[in-house]
Amino acid sequence: MAKRYELSDSEWEKIEHLFAKSRTGRPQKWNNRTMFDAILWLARSGAPWEDLPNRYPPHQSVYSRFCKWRDDGTLEAIFHALSADADLENLSIDSTCVKAHPQSAGAKKGL
């Protein structure tokens, strides 16, 4: 069972193939799913990197993997793959408009 803010098995199966397989060098200490779950936890909770729970890798490792995936386009590919299959049935768009006083934009008072 997935913990809060983590991917379910079916969600992971949709994106697992988008992560590059390392062919050379030292084997990775943390698998891609654990790293991605850590990134999701941070994004969904709004916590700083240093507040990552102990069940995840150290925040420095998660940050470096995040930067690698950001730079090589992995995160963008995941976004496009998941948004292509988006469930738009419960989509809610807010078109609220807030009108500010002219003075808030720097206009002179009394006009």
What residue ranges do the domains of the chain occupy? 1-18+28-84
Query: What's the confidence (pLDDT) of residue 111?
Result: 57
Predicted local distance difference test score (pLDDT) of residue 109: 66
**52 within 8 A of 38, measured Cβ to Cβ:** yes
How would DSSP label each residue in 60-88? Answer: HHHHHHHHHHHHHTHHHHHHHHHHHT---
pLDDT, averaged in runs of 10, over the chain (111 residues)? 77 89 78 93 92 94 95 92 76 72 69 57
Q: DSSP secondary structure string, 17-35? A: GGSPPP-SSSPPSS-HHHH
pLDDT at residue 11 in the model: 86
Q: Are 31 and 7 in contact (CB under 8 A)?
A: no
pTM of the entire structure? 0.71
How many helical (H) and strand (E) elements, i.e. helices and strands, does the chain have? 4, 0
